[in-house]
Structure 1
Amino acid sequence: MKKGLLVLLIVALTACAGQPSVSLYDEIGGSETLDKVFGLAINRIYNDPKLGPHFNGVPKSHLRKMLTEQTCALIGGPCTYSGKSMQESHQERNVTEAEFYAVVEHVQQAMRLIGLTYQQENRILAALAPLKNDIIYQQATTL
């Protein structure tokens, strides 16, 4: 009896190991889901009195497209990010750490509103986190 159970367990594990893993991009529903997330988040960001001024002159549709494209590329999707580097696009915007985290909160709220799980949300944020140092800009102080 034990031998039959062991064989069944080996077959089950082999079947699981042979299946291709699904990317986070596919798991959440692809670019359509990302576009919804960033559409909601951008509306909130542009209406935020502390954040909105940072986006003066940046069309919502362009920002939405760039965020969707960049996130798609970072979470295993078929996209190639075609925008400017984060350092280049943020260098004159003087984004503080507090403002950065306020944007993150708007994105998190949007992800929750459309029904992503906390695990999916955290995996997306982990993919975006390395961009933080290129977005936050602190002007050097002189003594």
Structure 2
Amino acid sequence: MISMNLKRLRQQHHYTQEELAEKLGVSRQVIAKWERGESTPDLQFCIQLAELYDVTLDNLVNYDEQQAGVSVPPKGKHFFGATTVSDRGQIVIPKKARELFRIEAGDTLILVGDEDRGLAIVPQQYMRGFFPPGVLLEPEEDEQ
């Protein structure tokens, strides 16, 4: 997996093997061996590569593009898989997503849409960061 990820990320960032080798202080042949799976970069190089490509170290080493169907995501971005909409319009939010965003039964989720970019489901507590001030209506305080 790491060899495929190294090659894909290098290509996505438009580096030649020579350019990447220069950034890391190794030879082009070392980069080629890593990408062919003939050798594996030491931990220090994996850390540098993860930082250079803005991906997690775990994703650099373990991400399986074939299984996920998308390339290695940047830090903070996640691909949780696909879900099917039921006849009643219901979906199941994958467990990993619920855990990461601390979504529990009874929580309020906001559904927003952009005709050009699609839908997003956002936990209510995160909504302030999505819209400029004044766009969202604040809940009215109970008068006492």
**TM-score normalised according to structure 2 size:** 0.27
Higher normalized contact order (CA 8 Å, seq sep 6+, divided by chain length): 1
More helix by proportion, 1 or 2?
1
More strand by proportion, 1 or 2?
2
Larger of the two Rg values belongs to structure: 2
